[in-house]
Amino acid sequence: MTHQPQTTAPLNEPVVPLTEATAAIDGAKHGISKKGLSAGSVGLIGAIVIGISCIAPAYTLTAALGPTVSEVGVQVPAIILVGFIPMLLVAFGYRELNRRMPDSGTSFTWAARAFGPWIGWMAGWGLVAATILVLSNLAGIAVDFLFLLISQVAGDPGIADLAANPFVNVAVCLLFMLGATWISYRDMQTTQKLQYWLVGFQVLVLVVFSVAALIEVANGNAFDATAIDLSWFNPFAVDSFSAFAAGLSLSIFIFWGWDVTLTMNEETRGSEKTPGRAATVTVITIVVLYLLIAVSLIAFAGVGDGEFGLGNPDIQDNVFFHLAGPILGPLAVLVSLAVLTSSASSLQSTFVSPARTLLAMGHYGALPEKFASVSPRFFTPGYATIVSAVVASVFYTVMRFVSENVLWDTITALGMMICFYYGITAFAAVWFFRKVWFRSVRNVVFTLLAPLVGGAILAVLFFTTLIDSMDPDYGSGSSVFGVGLVFVLGMVVLLSGVAIMLWQWWKRPAFFRGETLSRAAAED
């Protein structure tokens, strides 16, 4: 495979294009280098589709809409807009880093280049831990909705209860995981082709669902018709700071996943610009879709606690399922199928990020060399993909039998991990471009202000969640020696990363001495 010109630099030296002959030498000693992935196999549309799939809007919003209404009432659109801001600001930082250093390691590679190997390693750990553990959650959700869909089609509510049987649940979950692993192991064209159908169906159903709700409102058939008002979009109309905090925390979950467009940068046509554009378009597309759904369902059902009101705690765990019947009638089954499709497609596309981050960590000597291996047939990180699947499967199986509270509290704790590695990456953008901040207005906005503000917001959320999660009532209400289980699990994940990092430092000191990936600073 032909190497492309790359951009690398030792510490405090200008970032300059390298020739093909020197790229491999410098890549081995100082900077970024190719890893044998299938270059040019993903286009702009493909990257956007995979980004939307990873976010999983149908699955994410059906669980998030009800609880958000409980916090802020009709101001949900405003909260979505507020939550959208830090994600967009961080996305700008990602885009600038990718323009200068397109590398599949993303957070790991960029943080190592900006801050050195130790912080880079932990940024990579944050991404890998978050995505691998979420893989198990997505597989579990897919199982729940599969049995729910079958029960709807068969007209037998008892079928849905089969998902509560741990043996049945785990067996079907592992089948989902096996299928997703097989597709992810294959070439990116296979992933794209599958995602075009899954994402297309999911988005189409959500749009039809929303438009049908608005039509029912116009026809006077709404459950609790609520007139749409511009104040719904005004963040200053939210009553309390706690609601703002809840909205920002919500954004971490409902927007998380767009960065998968960057981890495919070595496989994307136009690797310097296309991934950043895909990330920006993905985030904007998702916020528009979320606003359409939120406005239409609030207008149809209101925010009260009646039978179908969005404030009813009995329907908040799955809002779409409960409102599908009143809005779509006999076509309601399509909504359950869309949520199942959403979780299943996200399960497959989410494999992209941890596999490519582990590949980069192995490539630069931060993990065993085996992680750097690429499938000679499909040009994908085969070994890293299989390891991700095995770890996620084992984790889900053990936790499902030990305690569902521990399982779901671990997923809650991942919010800290997401803030952790997004925040580090945003600050890495600020520091890497420190020498060129004031070379242009564009640089001031996109390499200084945007990532700095976005990173600061995520840092505040990280420490706020860290402190709040110490309360035993946080999450499931479980505790260890009087300390909230979510806090304990979050610390276990972080400290496990530190322990593994120290082990790798002892086994592979070259990376930690900066011999395989050195620090750098951008200069014109």
Q: β-pairing, 479-480 with 483-484?
A: antiparallel
Report pLDDT for 361. 95
H-helix or E-strand spanning residue 7? strand 7-8
DSSP 14-39: --EE--HHHHHHHHHHTS----S--T
Residue 350's pLDDT is 84
Q: CA–CA separation, 8 vs 11, rounded Å?
A: 10
HSE-up (13 A, CA, CB side) for residue 40: 4
Higher pLDDT residue, 119 or 273? 119
Averaged pLDDT for residues 357-373? 94
Report pLDDT for 139: 76
pLDDT confidence of 10, banded at 50, 70, 90?
Answer: very low
* Residue 158: predicted pLDDT: 87
Average pLDDT in the chain: 85
Quick count: other Cβ atoms within 10 Å of Cβ 214?
18
Mean pLDDT of the region 283-303: 94
Q: What pLDDT shows up at residue 250?
A: 67
Give 212's contacts (C-beta < 8 A, 6+ positions apart).
Answer: 327, 328
Residue 39 has a pLDDT of 82
Angstrom distance (rounded) from CA 318 to CA 62: 5
Max intra-chain CA distance, the chain:
71
In this structure, which amino acid lies at residue 319?
V
Res. 242 pLDDT band, cuts 50 70 90: low
Most confident of 126-130, 281-285, 372-376, 451-455: 451-455
**496 to each of 110, 129, 415, 417, 499, how far by Cα in Å?**
22, 10, 17, 12, 5
Hey, what's the torsion of the CAs at 279, 284, 286, 290, to 10 degrees?
A: 160
Q: How far apart are CA 409 and CA 421, in angstroms?
A: 19
Q: Which two tokens stand for residue 464?
A: 């706020």
Distances (CA, A) of 113 to 126, 165, 423, 514, 522: 17, 48, 15, 9, 10
Q: Which residue has the higher pLDDT, 515 or 23?
A: 515
Res. 87 pLDDT band, cuts 50 70 90: confident
Residue type for 224, please? Answer: D
Q: How many CB atoms lie within 10 A of CB 405?
A: 14
Q: What is the 3-state secondary structure (H, E, C) of 163-206?
A: HHCHHHHHHHHHHHHHHHHHHHHCCHHHHHHHHHHHHHHHHHHH
Gyration radius of the chain's alpha carbons: 23
Q: What is the pLDDT of residues 128-151, one digit of tens each?
A: 998 887 777 777 778 888 888 898
16-25, 165-174, 262-271, 402-411: the lowest-pLDDT one:
16-25
> Which pLDDT value is given to residue 153?
85
Tokens representing 470? Answer: 């110490």
Its pTM stands at 0.86
**Confidence tier at 107 by pLDDT (50, 70, 90):** very high
- What residues form DSSP beta bridges with 7? 17
Q: Note the pLDDT tens digit of each residue in 112-126.
A: 999 999 999 999 999
Tell me the per-residue pLDDT of 180-224, one tens digit each, with 9 for 90 and over: 889 888 877 778 888 899 899 999 999 999 999 999 999 999 999
Say if residue 10 is exposed, middle or buried (CB neighbours under 10 Å; 0-12, 13-18, 19+).
middle
**Rounded CA gap, 292 and 456, in Å?**
29
- pLDDT per residue as tens digits for the range 444-478: 999 999 999 999 999 988 888 888 888 888 766 77
Provide the b/e sequence for 428-458 (b: ≥16 CB within 10 Å). Answer: bbbbbbeebeeeeeebeebbbebbbbbbbbb
SS3 of 115, please?
helix
Q: What percentage of the chain reaches a pLDDT higher than 90? A: 39
